Structure formats: C-alpha cells, structure tokens
Amino acid sequence: MPDHVFGRSTRGVPPVAVRGEGCYLFDAAGKRYLDGSGGAAVSCLGHSDPDVRAALHRQLDRLAFAHTGFFTSEPAEALADALVAAAPEGMERVYLVSGGSEAVEAAIKLARQYFLEIGQPQRHRVVARRQSYHGNTLGALAAGGNAWRRAQFAPLLVETSHIVRCYAYREQAAGESLADYGRRAADALEEELLRLGPDTVMAFIAEPVVGATAGAVPAVPGYLPRIREICDRYGVLLILDEVMCGMGRTGRMFACKEDGVAPDLLTVAKGLGAGYQPIGALLATGRVYEAIASGSGFFQHGHTYMGHPMAAAAALAVVTAIQERDLLAQVRRRGARLDARLREVLGDHPHVGDIRGRGLFRGIELVRDRATKEPFDPALGIHRRIKAAAFAAGLICYPMGGTIDGRSGDHVLLAPPYIIDDGQ
C-alpha cells in the first residue's frame, strides 16, 4: 500500500482499518479489535449504526453542502433544536463547527466579543486549570494545561492562567472532607481572579469530567456550583468543555447536569458525531447571544464547513438514537457494571492507585507504589506499553502518561460504545 499519509507518528504505519461493526473494528489483515475507548470517546453508538447510515444517505441524496454565508439547512436547524431541548437551563443558541478544538476556539472568541459588545473591552484573559486539555489549535492549546502538549509551541500561545486541578485522589488533604476539598480547589479561582484583577478576566474554562489529561476525573460534589458562584460574583463567563464527557458519555446528555450547574458557554464534539461525521457545537445562553444580536449583529468568526448539512444530519441521528433507545439509562447501568468489574479485577492490584469516572467514562490510574501514590518513572513509558499490549491483544483503550508536574500517574481511559454488552 502507498504510504503518503502524514499521520500522528512518523515511526511506522499503523494497520489499515477497513470495517467497523458494533463495538468492533477490523483491519485489512482481518484482525478484530474491541473498541474499548471509542478511539478517544468518540464512537458512542459503535460502528456502522443503521439509523445514522440511513440518515446520511438521505441527506446526501437531498443536499450535501450549502454555505452558511447564504443558507441554513434543515438538519442544522433540527440539530440545534434537539441540543437546546436537552441542554442545561439557559442555553438557547447553537453554533455548529467541525470538531472539539473549533468549538473551544469559538467559545473563547465569543466570550471576547460578548465583552466588547457590552462595553467591557478590558476583559481579555482566560483562566483554566493545570490538568486539562481543550484542543490542539493555538487558542485551545493555550487554554489547556497539558505541559507536554504545550511545550514546543509555548512562544505561539497567548498567556493563560492555570489554577489547580480538582483531583481528590491526589489533592485532598488528610482529614479534609470532600466538600471542604471541593471548596478549597474552587476557591483557587477566586484567588487567581483577584490576583489578575477580576475585571480583566473574560472566562474560566474547565472540563466537568477531565478526560485526556487525567483519565476520567469527575469534579467532586460542590466544586462546580462553587465555581459558578465565583464566576457570577466577578462577572466572568463560565465555559464548560464537554467535548469528551458530553453527549451521554457520563449517563447524562451533558455531564454538568449531574453537578447541577449551567454554564454560559458549553462545548461538545466527539460523541455528537459519534465518528460518523466530524462535528462539534458551541452552545450559548440567550444572554450571550442577545449581546451580539442587539449589538453588532455579527459574530466575527466562521469556518467554511460550519453547520455542514451532512455532519448535522449524522449528529441529529446520533442524538435521536441516544434519546429514543434510552441509551442514557443504559450508560448508567453498564457504567456501574464496568466500574464494579474494574474494582473486582484490578482493585487490589499493587500498581492500580485509583479507579474512577462516571457512566461509560472510566479511568484507571497506575502508580509505582500504591501507599505513597508515587507514579512510575515517565521514561518507562508505561502507558505506551499498555496501549501496545492491549492493541496486540485486540483491545483499543486510551492510555496516557502522567504529565502534570510529575504528580500524576500513567492512566488508562475506557470509553466504550453505549451499546457494549456485559460479555464484551
């Protein structure tokens, strides 16, 4: 086979994927892989879903593309309606893009324009958290706190404040209650706002359940409500990034519903298109939208493929499937089962430090020493070895190294399709 694709790695060519069916992928040599992580929490309906395929065929036969500078489209409008109906309170508008990084970029730019429209041009700063990932484009990368991903592009990244993570396994102090810990972690935002000058800050961004950089670490109860309170006190917009944890992955359509918090801006992607089409969405409150609508009337942003009818048709079929097949309840049930089995099988393993997550979004943190929580030496590349061993055995999972100040272990993220069965 010719080898001209410039992929993620220049070291070797991965197997050629030729077919997907349910929870399995097949390569050109006929080998079968159980998709235990949906790539990176993408394939929430599994592969080759008949309803999504039919929706795509229907849309292709009617209209493949109409530029949003001239038109809206039926699937884009229907998808926006469905997302708003399922979204946390106050979310009224949907901006459709092609993926997670684009959704985050749009959120940051919309936050900036919002403050310009309401006459607060001094607000331009973003505060984020150390253990976070918000995408690989320059704005989103600047917001993210993953030191390894940022390092070589540092001169290109706009300065961003990163406060402490919310990570009870490592940060909760001895004798401290979970509630006190959550409050302490959230109060770091207030300290940072006061240090920066609160009226220079436009937004705080966080993942309700941290995915790629931490391995399914949910905010502790009370943390996000406290964050919401602090944002409100200082007039800062709250952006919740649910690119990975949204669209039912945690057993709720939007993870923040579990925390009882509604953001000002909310991003989703991965599970939205479920791998059938590249798509992401930015949801905004009526208040943010109205500031633009009653001001300049124009969000100064836009990509050629935004609101793409094919992508919107696929996402609409995905959202419909999640709702009509009652998959959220299934995610909660299967997630509880997965958690229980992980604890049974790995709970006493000398190198398993923590098992955590929500729904079908589970993380296993690996440590050299369980008692001290000391991580493995990163030079050992434990996560790479696990990924390779699992792949060789026909399992796709999503391991990552511990990259945060040397104070996180390697972890393995599991995010199987919502249709996975007990045997699988």
Query: Using CB under 6 A as the criterion, which residues of the chain lie in contact with ligand PLP when the complex forms?
Result: 40, 99-101, 104, 133-135, 207, 211-212, 241, 243-244, 269
Of the pair 213, 285, the CB lying nearest ligand PLP is at: 213
Say if CB 130 and CB 300 are below 8 A apart: no
Give me the helices (H) in 256-381, please: 256-259, 270-273, 286-293, 309-324, 327-346
* Closest residue to ligand PLP: CB criterion: 100
Classify residue 301 as exposed, middle or buried by CB count within 10 Å of its CB (0-12, 13-18, 19+): middle
Of the pair 230, 269, the CB lying nearest ligand PLP is at: 269
Of the pair 168, 212, the CB lying nearest ligand PLP is at: 212
Closest CA to 216 of 397, 376, 45, 358: 358
Of the pair 193, 245, the CB lying nearest ligand PLP is at: 245
Of the pair 73, 132, the CB lying nearest ligand PLP is at: 132
Tokens encoding 228: 């919401």
Bridge pairing between strands 237-242 and 161-163: unpaired
Of the pair 243, 352, the CB lying nearest ligand PLP is at: 243
Of the pair 133, 181, the CB lying nearest ligand PLP is at: 133
Query: CA 415, CA 397: separation in Å to the nearest integer?
Result: 8
Closest CA to 127 of 139, 143, 146: 143
Give me the helices (H) in 161-285, please: 168-171, 178-196, 223-234, 256-259, 270-273
Closest CA to 357 of 327, 336, 329, 382: 336
Q: Output the smallest distance, CB 136 to ligand PLP, in A.
A: 6
Q: Output the smallest distance, CB 216 to ligand PLP, in A.
A: 11
Give the neighbor-by-neighbor strand order of the sheet with 32-35: 17-21, 24-27, 32-35, 395-396
Q: Output the smallest distance, CB 139 to ligand PLP, in A.
A: 11
